[in-house]
């Protein structure tokens, strides 16, 4: 189809829909100087020379320059060394995040230098838990701190002090005994069964094994001593020379033995039951009454005396309905060489502690009765109002004792009755 066509002349701008050259347009003319370039290759300039292309970079390869010539294609250890993170480098980062995997330190001993004089120079944290492991580089107090626990499957060996609120371990082995100041005993061996004794910051010591009945007794100054027997009893205040005081004393058996001389038992004063011997269901079997001016011994049961019963007082009161005496003979007036004696029966309107009496009149050596005039219980003489009439045996009719008024005699040969007058 016919149309107007622009004629290109020098100095005019050309508008072409396509341009075909016999040779590649030179770099100096704004071209590449190359008729083909590697698909995926990185293009490299060369002054006015044709642009070149590297080979296609494989997985992990990078272009690394050297400051002089074309950059080289590198990968692996060569690349890491070129960018300063090789095995012989010491790279520095603001932060380093690992999403997984391991950190492996090889090739010999590794020294990790942390910032100086910082309470948290290195801290290993987790979400919600800071300072799981923390290195403190504070001057003169460098240490490792942990906000959680420490679990060790091997051994822990150290030459310094160990400080912890709690340690759980199967076995803890120290080169030397842990000092008392560090919470230890300071000793490597302690007597089996011995009692342990402190010594300030010095090592704990152990007594010998206590024998049967031995106890440790202190003296308020040094170590307690081992005591037993009389020495121990004296130390605790129950020795033979002591006077211990108890609220109650219970004996489950055995005896109470009083030795070493006369024994004086002092009771509470002015008390109707200062000392009472009781049994289950029976109180006051034997009771001592210290009531002022009324002191005495009382018994709620019976009294059995295997030996002699001696009363040194002036009056013996038997407040019973009946008095049973198993003895064949009763001796009265045994405390006097002579004098009247007898039995008094309180009766009628007689004054208390007096009454009708059956008496022996020492003056006439004859039994008699005193009834009209009551005889008092504390009287020392009697005044009989009538005398006892006796039947005198023939064999005794010559005795002045029986040859007294009123006595009777019966002649054994014929039965005749005689009265002495």
Report the helix count and the strand count for the chain, using DSSP H and E: 2, 21
Look up the pTM and report it.
0.40
Q: Whole-angstrom Cα distance, residue 207 to residue 399?
A: 93
Quick one: pLDDT at residue 6?
A: 66
Question: Which of these, 349, 344, 404, lies nearest to 376 by C-alpha position?
Answer: 344
Do the beta carbons of residue 345 and residue 327 sit within 8 Å? no
Do the beta carbons of residue 411 and residue 418 sit within 8 Å? yes
The percent helix, strand, coil of the chain (3-state, each to 5) is 5, 25, 70
Quick one: pLDDT at residue 391?
A: 92
List average pLDDT for each run of 10 residues in the chain, which is 421 residues long.
71 75 87 88 88 90 90 90 84 83 79 88 86 90 82 72 69 83 91 92 92 91 91 89 86 83 88 90 91 90 84 76 86 83 81 88 93 89 94 89 91 91 90
Task: Go through the chain and tell me how many residues it has.
Answer: 421
Q: How far is CA 215 from the centre of its chain?
A: 17
Do the beta carbons of residue 350 and residue 310 sit within 8 Å? no
Quick one: pLDDT at residue 13?
A: 74
Quick one: pLDDT at residue 272?
A: 92
Quick one: pLDDT at residue 356?
A: 92
């Amino acid at each position: 189809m016919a149309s107007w066509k622009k004629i290109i002349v020098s100095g005019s701008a050309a508008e072409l829909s396509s341009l075909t050259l016999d040779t590649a347009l030179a770099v100096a003319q704004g071209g590449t100087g190359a008729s083909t370039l590697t698909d995926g290759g990185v293009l490299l300039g060369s002054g006015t020379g044709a642009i070149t292309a590297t080979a296609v970079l494989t997985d992990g390869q990078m272009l690394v320059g050297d400051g002089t010539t074309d950059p080289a294609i590198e990968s692996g250890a060569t690349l890491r060394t070129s960018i300063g993170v090789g095995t012989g480098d010491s790279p520095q980062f603001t932060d380093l995040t690992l999403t997984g995997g391991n950190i492996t330190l090889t090739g010999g001993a590794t020294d990790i230098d942390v910032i100086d004089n910082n309470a948290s120079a290195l801290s290993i944290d987790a979400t919600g838990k800071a300072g799981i492991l923390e290195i403190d580089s504070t001057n003169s107090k460098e240490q490792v701190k942990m906000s959680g626990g420490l679990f060790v499957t091997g051994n822990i060996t150290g030459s310094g002090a160990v400080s912890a609120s709690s340690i759980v371990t199967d076995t803890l082995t120290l080169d030397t005994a842990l000092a008392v100041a560090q919470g230890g005993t300071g000793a490597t061996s302690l007597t089996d069964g011995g009692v342990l004794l402190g010594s300030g910051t010095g090592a704990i010591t152990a007594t010998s094994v206590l024998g049967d009945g031995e106890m440790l007794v202190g003296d308020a100054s040094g170590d307690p001593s081992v005591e037993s027997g009389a020495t121990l009893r004296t130390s605790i205040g129950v020795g033979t020379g002591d006077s211990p005081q108890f609220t109650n004393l219970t004996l489950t058996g055995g005896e109470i033995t009083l030795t070493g001389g006369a024994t004086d038992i002092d009771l509470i004063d002015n008390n109707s039951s200062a000392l009472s011997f009781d049994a289950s269901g029976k109180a006051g079997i034997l009771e001592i009454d210290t009531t002022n001016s009324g002191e005495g011994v009382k018994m709620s049961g019976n009294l059995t005396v295997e030996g002699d019963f001696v009363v040194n007082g002036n009056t013996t009161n038997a407040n019973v309905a009946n008095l049973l005496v198993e003895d064949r003979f009763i001796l009265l007036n045994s405390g006097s060489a002579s004098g009247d004696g007898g039995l008094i029966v309180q009766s009628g309107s007689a004054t208390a502690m007096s009454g009708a009496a059956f008496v022996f009149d020492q003056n006439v050596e004859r039994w008699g009765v005193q009834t009209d005039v009551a005889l008092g219980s504390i009287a020392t003489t009697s005044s009989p109002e009538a005398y006892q009439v006796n039947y005198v045996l023939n064999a005794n009719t010559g005795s002045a004792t029986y040859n007294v008024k009123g006595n009777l005699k019966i002649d054994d040969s014929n039965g005749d009755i005689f009265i002495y007058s």
